[in-house]
Amino acid sequence: MRTYAGHSTAAASNELYRTNLAKGQTGLSVAFDLPTQTGYDPDSPLAKGEVGKVGVPVPHLGEMRKLFDQIPLTEMNTSMTINATAMWLLAMYQVVAEEQNGVSAASTDEERAQVAAQLAGTTQNDIIKEYLSRGTYVFGPDHSLRLIGDMIAYTVHQIPKWNPINICSYHLQEAGATPVQEIAYAMCTAIAVLDQVKASGQVSEADFGKVVGRMSFFVNAGVRFVEEMCKMRAFVELWDEITRERYGVTDEKMRRFRYGVQVNSLGLTEAQPENNVQRIVLEMLAVTLSKNARARAVQLPAWNEALGLPRPWDQQWSLRLQQVLAFESDLLEYDDLFDGSPVVEAKVRELVEGARAEIDRVQAMGGAIAAVESGYMKSALVSSHAVRRSRIESGEEIVVGVNRFDTTEPSPLTADLDAAIMVADPQAEAAALASVEAWKAQRDATEVAEALAALAAAAKTDENLMLYTLAAARAGATTGEWAQTLREVFGEFRAPTGVSGAVGAVSQAGEAGSELAAVRERVKATGEQLGGRLRVLIGKPGLDGHSNGAEQIAVRARDAGFEVIYQGIRLTPEQIVSAAVAEDVHLVGLSILSGSHMELVPDVLEGLRAAGLDDVPVIVGGIIPDSDARRLKELGVAAVYTPKDFGLTEIMGGFVDVIRHASGLD
């Protein structure tokens, strides 16, 4: 069982792994969250405020060299949380490995191949979950699937130890997926990918089992301990069935369901955050106790991730939780503890049958790509999330410290909230910009232009794009240039938000329904006083693709009687201001979970003032420390909401209060 150090950030994680390497602990895997997933350079306006806050900026080969300085890549197993630009990051990784092993421009293809054959690791490379939950896509579904297929074919032939895709249902659960939906949509993604590789003709029938054998999965583990353990057994059973019956893979080893886990972040609470530790331990046990469905790698979040960025010490704590389980307990000494259990077998049957039915439904639509483009899967996730939120608000689903047992003694862990989380280096963005400028100044611009032109030409054919991507990396192209070159061929794409088709979850009966009805009456009355229906703009500025909160706010605002304008993710402050002007809104709500609120919110406020809308109130939601919340209010923000504000209907009442105050009503 490999171990990971939680949500890694650049400086702390790189130093941690170098320290372990010096101690001879080469069995550890390197896990980096890379903010270049959307294919933007740090000098893109969409990257403002986010550089260095959500991982490691890798805009060009020079930064990849720096990132892996003194880390021998042919001896490591590296996991890259990278999706839309996975081909590009793998190309730069391979080029750095070649350089570390003395391969130069004058070297032969055989010498390059010898280095590539030694590389081991994983690229997440699951673009379908990006359309459904995480948002870091660049191109449309068909073109993205083509890149994935090209990359899989290349690695099967050239980097046989590499896992080219890590199908990631983790974010589906974060977006609200039930266990049945998580299983079904992950399997539908796998089917779409395997069908793409088979249809491309780049892998022979004899080698197709290798494609299946190099696919891995990244799964979520929630706190419902028994259900999550049974979910993993259901995953194992269905994967074996699909690969055997649909694809004819006879080798049991190739059909093995290989998966890693990050345990649930959706359930982490800002209120009484010390409770997150026992939640994390229970979730880890759910994916390790059953030997026949045991995770091959486990990644744990930190106890304080609902408060802000975890510090190196917090990451270490998460790592130690795993090490105590692996090295102090007797967990690994026994066969499967649940074989023959009627309770477990019944629950597994229920999950398998439910997942099969949902897989059949998606396949009948034309498969995962069609279900993405129609918005079916996205709407299903938004609706499931709305059901969960309503259950928490009504008290039907108990969250300790939030809606039950919420009295508390002062916690020494959060006595100084400003010190309880990591603050990103304010100079990180300037350093990244300077790095890009210096890189472009020293490279051969003609060589870069020729490599990108060749990439664009190949993209218009059915050639494998991996070799052209490697050539662009060696020439010195940047991440943004690679992505923009393909954008110009493939076009732009915006995935359905899922909000318009989502079903609101709050029943009109009972206490929760009466509260919503009361807010709806206030929305209607205030609108009549102001001469029309109240209009709310929900905006997602920057590259932050975590849209789950914004979607739930939009759905509840619609149910409360507001007219909701929600245009999805990746908007500049200028675009948000333009939408506010065009729609003549009464309120602008900004959702920011990347920690870039202090950079982006002032830009929106200034834009509204310049447009003559300084009387339109702005509210902000996100993982925002108290000190930042105070500063935002001093700048003119009307209200700040954080994860502790779990009552969406109560927040809707706050919307009305803010609008009435800004409009001079009592």
Catalytic residue chosen out of the listed positions 17, 40, 154, 170: 170
Q: Helix, strand, or coil here: 510?
A: helix
Amino acid at 406: D
Q: Helix, strand, or coil here: 221?
A: strand
Distance separating alpha carbons of residues 15 and 392, to the nearest angstrom: 40
| Active-site annotation holds for 171 | yes
| Active-site annotation holds for 540 | yes
Specify the DSSP element, H or E, that contains 614.
Answer: none
The residue with tokens 């088709």 is 501
| Active-site annotation holds for 53 | no
- How many other C-beta atoms lie within 10 A of the C-beta of residue 69? 11
Three-class HEC string of 526-578: HHHHHCCCCEEEEECECCCCCCHHHHHHHHHHHHCCCEEEECCCCECHHHHHH
Cβ atoms of residues 387 and 175 within 8 Å: no
Cβ atoms of residues 565 and 538 within 8 Å: yes
Distance separating alpha carbons of residues 475 and 162, to the nearest angstrom: 24
Cα dihedral 572, 577, 578, 584 sign? positive
The whole-angstrom distance between residue 35's C-alpha and the CA centroid of its chain comes to: 11
Phi, psi (degrees; rounded to nearest 5) at 201: 75, 10
Cβ atoms of residues 623 and 489 within 8 Å: no
Distance separating alpha carbons of residues 359 and 572, to the nearest angstrom: 37
* Token pair belonging to 145: 């699937």
> Which residues, listed in sequence order, are joined to residue 618 by a DSSP beta bridge?
588
> Percentages helix, strand, coil for the chain, rounded to the nearest 5?
55, 10, 35
Catalytic residue chosen out of the listed positions 7, 60, 129, 171: 171
- How many other C-beta atoms lie within 10 A of the C-beta of residue 63? 22
Cβ-count burial of 423 within 10 angstroms (0-12 exposed, 13-18 middle, 19+ buried)?
Answer: middle
Catalytic residue chosen out of the listed positions 540, 586, 603, 641: 540
Distance separating alpha carbons of residues 104 and 472, to the nearest angstrom: 15
Cβ atoms of residues 298 and 4 within 8 Å: yes
- How many other C-beta atoms lie within 10 A of the C-beta of residue 71? 17
> Which residues, listed in sequence order, are joined to residue 390 by a DSSP beta bridge?
none
| Active-site annotation holds for 4 | yes
- State the DSSP code for 404: B
- State the DSSP code for 341: -
Amino acid at 595: G
Distances (CA, A) of 438 to 48, 76, 434, 442: 19, 29, 6, 6
Cα dihedral 302, 85, 501, 179 sign? negative
Nearest CA to 101 among 78, 77, 82, 117?
117
β-strands 77-81, 30-33 pairing: parallel
* Token pair belonging to 482: 């690679």
Catalytic residue chosen out of the listed positions 60, 129, 143, 546: 546
Catalytic residue chosen out of the listed positions 150, 544, 559, 628: 544
Report the catalytic residues: 4, 170-171, 540, 544, 546
